[in-house]
């Protein structure tokens, strides 16, 4: 493990891969990570939204405001 | 996928197109994306507000304060 | 649509006109837009406050702190 | 209406006059506006606090932290 | 009333005197104001905490994080 | 009482001593104050967590994010 | 105890070790601390998420947005 690993390095390595994103309000998105910035504003492609474990919407491209996110995890 | 895609690029490409905007309080807007800034303050035109899946108001032009937004997605 | 329209331009064009302002706590104000700043701190004149769709107070001039606002829309 | 009116001008004109201040938690204060700053930190004199429409405390001088305020209106 | 009175002047004049401090969660502290800063981080001495109008703890010295405070009032 | 006492001076004097730390969610920690910074990020050693007045966990060293803290008081 | 210990030193010493991370919404993660930054954005590896004391998901690598964290403690 590198001594100086930074959190955004992890997001950078996940670009183009499928990730799950959980929001503070309990909503979850699964999609391909297209972009993020230092505020953790995030764009997914081919995104599906789920609530309570069930897919509720297929959204295609979705911009998620960073301050509403709790976690991002490679699927 | 470009290595350095930025989230606001996605919003920029959606200018003039119909988007849906979800708020932290559960309200949803659908309208044409006219403007946004780095705080994600957003202006829609021909906007309809819906709550619980039903259109509640036709608002025409609406300024949405960025910090109340969870997601923006091209319709 | 101009490529570089900014959200505050929309508010600027609404100066002196009647707007509705929704707050995070569900309160709504309708009044004439007198002033706003980059924090979206906003001043209305001849303002009426309504809750649950009924006018609850006539307030005359009211200063609204920006961070409590969700949307501003020309009436 | 001046084209460039700013929200804090309205507060400045209310110095020394009676204002009502509503907080995010539903509490209301009525008192003489003595001071405010850019964070909307506000000091009232001869202030009365009310909850649910009834005066609950006479506080004399009170410093109100700006981020807890929703509106300030000349009485 | 001075035209340019600032909110922190009021807190400065209360140094060494007994003040009450209300928090966003409904807790109240009464104690001697020892220190504060621009974030309204505040230190009381000989402080008593009360909830629902009853003294719940005697705390001696207490540091209160500014963003949890709604009001500070000389007792 | 010094005229210019600052809140962080109080925390500095408590370094190495036992303090109690209350969080916004009602959790309380008691432990030895090892470190803090200007955001009030705080590290305790030999820390015990309690909820509703009962010790729920012994944690040893704990880093507490500053914005979740309401008060810090020497025990 | 060093007089000038800083909170992030504690996190730095925990790099590569197992930590528990509690979130504001009551979720807990246990995993190996890979990275953090000044916002306390944090990356865990081999992470397990638990709610109400039961493991709910094995997530592998997880990026946790700092502002959703209450505490980080070496396991």
**C38-64 pLDDT tens trace:** 999 999 999 999 988 888 889 999 999
Taking the model in full, what pTM does it have? 0.94
The shortest CB-CB distance from B63 to any of C1, C67, C72 is to C72
- Structural tokens at position E42: 């505040």
Contacts of C31 (CB under 8 A, 6+ apart): C18, C19, C21, C44, C45, C46, C47, C48, C59, C62
Question: Rounded to the nearest 5 degrees, what angle is found at the Cα of F37, between the Cα atoms of F32 and F42?
Answer: 35
Q: Which of F15, F27, F68 sits opposite G1 (nearest CB)?
A: F15
Nearest to G68 by CA among A72, B47, A51: A72
The two three-digit tokens of residue D32, written as one number? 């003489």
What backbone phi and psi angles, to 5 degrees, belong to A57?
-155, 145
Q: Which residues make beta-bridge pairs with E19? A: E31, E74
Residue of F nearest to G26 (CA): F25
CB contact at 8 A, D26 and D20: no
Predicted confidence band of residue G1 (pLDDT cuts 50, 70, 90): very low
**Residues F21/F42, Cβ–Cβ less than 8 Å:** yes
> Which CATH code, of 2.40.50.100, 2.30.30.100, 3.40.50.1820, 2.60.40.1180, is assigned to A7-74?
2.30.30.100
Across E22-30, average pLDDT: 96
DSSP F34: E
Q: How many whole angstroms separate alpha carbon B22 and alpha carbon B30?
A: 9
Q: Which of G51, G65, G72 to substitute to test the interface with A, most A CBs within 10 Å?
A: G65
Q: Between C27, C35, C59, which is nearest D5 by CB?
A: C35
Confidence band of B1 (pLDDT split at 50, 70, 90): very low
CB contact under 8 A, B43 and C73: no
Average pLDDT over residues C62-75: 96
Domain ranges, ordered by start, for chain G: 7-74
Supply G56's token pair.
């709910």
Q: Do B71 and A65 touch (CB under 8 A)?
A: yes
> How many DSSP H helices and E strands does chain F contain?
1, 5
pLDDT in tens, F1-51: 456 789 999 999 999 999 999 999 999 999 999 999 999 999 999 999 998
- Cα A52 to Cα A66: distance, rounded to the nearest angstrom: 21
- What are B18-59's pLDDT values in tens digits? 999 999 999 999 999 999 999 999 999 999 999 888 888 899
Please tell me the predicted confidence (pLDDT) of residue D3: 60
């Amino acid at each position: 493990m590198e001594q100086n690993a930074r959190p955004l390095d992890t997001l950078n390595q996940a670009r183009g891969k499928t990730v799950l994103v959980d929001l503070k309000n309990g909503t979850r998105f699964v999609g391909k990570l297209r972009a993020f910035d230092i505020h953790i504003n995030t764009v997914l492609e081919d995104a599906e939204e789920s609530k309570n474990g069930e897919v509720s919407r297929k959204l295609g491209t979705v911009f998620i405001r960073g301050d509403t996110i709790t976690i991002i995890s490679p699927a």
